[in-house]
């Protein structure tokens, strides 16, 4: 009902603007800051004042008068306020009826069809399989998963994919680190051919008591350390890449072995997070194909070849972008070269309308260059492609300042370590409070740890840098996922006490009391979902859930729900609506609800 009211207000406002002489009036309804100013407001009058040559307030008064005359159902009043806003007040009946809408739509409440009929592809995480996944990967994973859920809730068909950059110098460092540091005796040669025939002479992750991805990480860090100290080792590693490129079967066996360990570890972590992909692309399968596109661009005059043989883009004049090399003078391809091929492959494979890449901000220029080149080659329009950056996740140094993590230095915080620490913290609280047996504490502790960590990463604007605080993530009184879950559990507890009735019958009040602010907050969930989808950021959802939880707890503290009065059913309807909205919002964040804490 609320969506119908707001959309009708927008439609009628557009009609009035067109009649007044504004060809394409943009009408945005925002929630008002304070309830005394109504539920919604628009600045449409100020946006078109220059076009109409009238004062914003004069336009607002005329617009408000027009809207009052339209008899819009659920709209109690439209009031013009200086300097040129129009504030909208909804009827009590509309606010109360909204409870029935929420209950009727249940798990579908908050969904819309704004992207129905569209097909989107979201590439996210794309971890380098040379190390265990750290908190930077976690933020990428959660941002990407949130976007996928938002698009699905808006009616789109969504395909999730990832790319394993499974070749090159980084993987060769793992291979060397394994050969040099995981052998069981010092006299064993650091030799690929020898390893192929004597693999049992090297330690396995199980023998080192390490998870597969941590085993690979250790190989990488030790390999990097040796390379920095010894130029001959650096040359050995580079030669591994050359031999791999030539298709040497022994090197490929070692390559496959270390990658299998990496993939196994990554899959375990992602399974814990509840994250999956519909499609996995492997760099080694398509990286050579990019050269064909470069040749096509050369023949068409899109690219230019330098005197030394290198191939350069031609972007500055048309797109205002710095040009970049597509092929080195020795014919070696770069990341952009293979990304061109993969982008075309994606477009053709999925027949997608929109492609999204969730990648760090340091790649912003590279992504713009890729999109422009793809447009030049006719692969797709730049508007078909979207780069979604996200802020860095860092550590606190001894002075409390932000410090970026570095895999080469071994100064990273791993996803599994953080989840384990948070779970341990939660289980310790269970023990202190005398709650739950060991089996229940383990299961519930894992769910709450995931909720706490996910919410902590998603509550901030995705483009802001952040540090993770374990204590804050599980604060039951603060801005945390556990706080929101406590509110949800309270709604379920109340419902269990009355036997989880399927039907609620109540007389709507004519005057609102303590519940007024809570009902008002419930109005905005659908709009928040729409805004989050437009911004491709679920932090709007997280912030809204904190607000709703706070309003519910405040109302619950002042109100006795199960009082046997003739308003009990009405109050139960409020509880049910809050529970539904909290559950739907948490679902968009990828957080599973619990029945107890």
What is the C-alpha separation between 586 and 464, in angstroms, rounded?
Answer: 21
Closest C-alpha to 250, from 240, 263, 262, 260: 240
What are the residues whose beta carbons fall under 8 Å from the beta carbon of 148, sequence distance 6 or more? Answer: 122, 158, 160
Q: Could you tell me if 421 and 448 are in contact, meaning their C-beta atoms sit under 8 angstroms apart? A: no
Confidence of residue 406 (pLDDT cuts 50, 70, 90): low
Confidence of residue 330 (pLDDT cuts 50, 70, 90): confident
Q: How far apart are the first and last CA of the chain?
A: 34
Q: Other C-beta atoms within 10 Å of 124: how many?
A: 26
Environment class of 232 (CB within 10 Å of its CB; exposed 0-12, middle 13-18, buried 19+): exposed
Mean pLDDT score, 85-101: 97
Each residue's pLDDT tens digit, 417-468: 999 999 999 999 999 999 999 999 999 999 999 999 999 999 999 999 888 7
Mean pLDDT score, 239-247: 95
Q: What average pLDDT does the structure give for the chain?
A: 94
Compute and round to an integer the Cα radius of gyration of the chain: 29
Question: Candidates 3.90.320.10, 3.40.50.620, 3.40.50.1820, 3.40.50.1100; correct CATH number of 121-166+282-393?
Answer: 3.40.50.620
Q: Could you tell me if 384 and 360 are in contact, meaning their C-beta atoms sit under 8 angstroms apart? A: no
DSSP β-ladder status, 85-90 and 40-42: antiparallel
Each residue's pLDDT tens digit, 568-590: 999 999 999 999 999 999 999 99
Homologous superfamily (CATH) of 455-588 is Isoleucyl-tRNA Synthetase; Domain 1 (1.10.730.10)
Residue located via tokens 């308003």: 567
What strands lie across the sheet with 354-358, from one edge to the other?
Answer: 279-282, 157-164, 119-123, 354-358, 385-388
Residue located via tokens 């710095």: 322
SS3 422: helix
What is the C-alpha separation between 592 and 453, in angstroms, rounded?
Answer: 12
Residues 404-430 as b/e (b if ≥16 CB within 10 A, e otherwise) read ebebeeeebbbbbebbeebbebbbebb
Q: Could you tell me if 177 and 148 are in contact, meaning their C-beta atoms sit under 8 angstroms apart? A: no
Closest C-alpha to 182, from 258, 269, 249: 258
What is the C-alpha separation between 5 and 94, in angstroms, rounded?
Answer: 9
**pLDDT score of 402 more than 70:** no
Q: Could you tell me if 7 and 40 are in contact, meaning their C-beta atoms sit under 8 angstroms apart? A: no
Largest CA distance in the chain: 92
Q: What percent of the chain has pLDDT over 70?
A: 97
What strands lie across the sheet with 304-305, from one edge to the other?
Answer: 304-305, 311-312, 325-327
Report how far apart, in Å, the C-alpha atoms of 428 and of each of 422, 424, 440 are. Answer: 10, 6, 13
pLDDT of residue 502: 81
Closest C-alpha to 49, from 102, 74, 85, 93: 85
Q: CB under 8 Å, gap of 24 or more: what pairs does 196-201 form?
A: 196/250, 196/253, 196/254, 199/257
Ranges of H-type helices in 230-376: 231-245, 249-273, 283-286, 290-299, 316-319, 335-350, 364-376
Strands of 58-150 (E only): list them.
75-81, 85-90, 119-123
**pLDDT score of 325 more than 80:** yes
pLDDT of residue 42: 97
Residue located via tokens 């159902």: 73
Confidence of residue 408 (pLDDT cuts 50, 70, 90): very low
pLDDT of residue 24: 77
Each residue's pLDDT tens digit, 244-292: 999 999 999 999 999 999 999 999 999 999 999 999 999 999 988 999 9
Question: pTM value?
Answer: 0.92
pLDDT of residue 26: 77
Mean pLDDT score, 157-163: 98
pLDDT of residue 400: 56
Q: What percent of the chain has pLDDT over 90?
A: 89
Each residue's pLDDT tens digit, 533-572: 999 999 999 999 999 999 999 999 999 999 999 999 999 9
Q: Could you tell me if 258 and 171 are in contact, meaning their C-beta atoms sit under 8 angstroms apart? A: yes
3-state helix, strand, coil in the chain (%, to 5): 55, 10, 30
Q: Where are the domains of the chain?
A: 2-90, 121-166+282-393, 169-277, 455-588
Environment class of 444 (CB within 10 Å of its CB; exposed 0-12, middle 13-18, buried 19+): buried
Question: Candidates 3.30.1360.70, 3.40.50.2020, 3.40.1440.10, 3.40.50.720; correct CATH number of 2-90?
Answer: 3.30.1360.70
Q: Could you tell me if 466 and 544 are in contact, meaning their C-beta atoms sit under 8 angstroms apart? A: no
Each residue's pLDDT tens digit, 341-397: 999 999 999 999 999 999 999 999 999 999 999 999 999 999 999 999 999 887 665
Q: Helices 481-497 and 539-558, interaxial angle, to 10°?
A: 50
Ranges of H-type helices in 395-437: 415-433
């Amino acid at each position: 009902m609320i969506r119908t009211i707001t959309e009708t207000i927008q439609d009628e406002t557009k009609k009035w603007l067109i009649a007044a002489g504004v060809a394409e009036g943009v009408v945005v309804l925002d929630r008002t800051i304070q309830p005394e100013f109504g539920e919604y407001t628009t600045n449409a009058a100020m946006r078109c004042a220059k076009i109409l040559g009238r004062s914003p307030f004069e336009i607002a008064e005329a617009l408000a008068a027009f809207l009052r005359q339209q008899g819009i159902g659920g709209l109690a009043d439209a009031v013009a306020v200086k300097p040129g806003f129009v504030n909208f007040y909804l009827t009590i009946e509309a606010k109360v009826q909204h409870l029935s809408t929420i209950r009727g739509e249940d798990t579908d409440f908050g969904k819309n069809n704004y992207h129905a009929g569209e097909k989107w592809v979201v590439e996210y995480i794309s971890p380098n399989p040379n190390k265990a996944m750290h908190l930077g990967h976690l933020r990428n994973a959660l941002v990407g998963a949130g976007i996928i859920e938002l698009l699905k809730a808006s009616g789109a068909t969504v395909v999730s994919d990832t790319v394993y950059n499974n070749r090159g110098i980084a993987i060769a460092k793992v291979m060397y680190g394994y050969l040099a540091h995981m052998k069981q005796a010092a006299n064993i040669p650091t030799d690929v051919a020898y390893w192929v025939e004597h693999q049992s002479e090297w330690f396995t992750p199980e023998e080192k008591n390490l998870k597969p991805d941590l085993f690979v990480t250790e190989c990488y860090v030790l390999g990097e350390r040796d390379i920095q100290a010894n130029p001959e080792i650096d040359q050995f590693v580079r030669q591994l890449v050359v031999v791999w490129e030539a298709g040497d079967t022994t090197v490929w066996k070692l390559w496959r072995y270390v990658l299998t360990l990496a993939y196994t570890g990554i899959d375990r972590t992602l399974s814990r997070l509840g994250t999956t992909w519909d499609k996995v692309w492997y760099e080694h399968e398509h990286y050579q194909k990019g050269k064909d596109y470069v040749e096509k661009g050369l023949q068409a005059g899109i690219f230019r070849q330098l005197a030394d043989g290198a191939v350069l883009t031609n972007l500055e004049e048309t797109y205002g972008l710095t040009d970049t090399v597509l092929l080195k003078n020795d014919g070696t391809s770069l990341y952009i070269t293979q990304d061109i091929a993969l982008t075309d492959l994606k477009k053709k494979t999925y027949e997608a309308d929109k492609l999204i890449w969730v990648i760090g901000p340091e790649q912003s220029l590279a992504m713009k260059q890729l999109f422009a080149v793809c447009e030049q080659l006719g692969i797709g329009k730049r508007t078909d492609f979207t780069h979604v950056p996200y802020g860095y996740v860092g550590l606190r140094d001894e002075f409390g300042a932000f410090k970026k993590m570095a895999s080469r230095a071994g100064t990273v915080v791993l996803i599994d370590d953080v989840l384990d620490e948070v779970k341990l913290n939660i289980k310790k609280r269970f023990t202190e409070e005398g709650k739950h047996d060991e089996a229940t504490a383990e299961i519930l502790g894992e769910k709450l740890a995931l909720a706490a960590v996910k919410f902590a990463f998603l509550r901030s604007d995705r483009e802001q840098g952040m540090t993770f605080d374990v204590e804050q993530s599980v604060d039951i009184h603060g801005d945390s996922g556990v706080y929101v879950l406590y509110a949800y559990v309270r709604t379920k507890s109340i419902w269990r006490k009355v036997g989880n009735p399927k039907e609620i019958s109540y007389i709507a009040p004519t005057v609102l009391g303590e519940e007024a602010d809570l009902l008002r907050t419930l109005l905005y969930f659908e709009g928040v979902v729409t805004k989050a989808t437009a911004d491709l950021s679920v932090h709007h959802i997280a912030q809204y859930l904190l607000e709703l939880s706070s309003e519910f707890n405040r109302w619950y503290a002042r109100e006795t729900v199960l009082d046997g009065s003739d308003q009990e059913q009405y109050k139960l309807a409020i509880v049910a609506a809050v529970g539904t909205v909290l559950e739907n919002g948490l679902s968009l964040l990828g957080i599973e609800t619990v029945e107890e804490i």
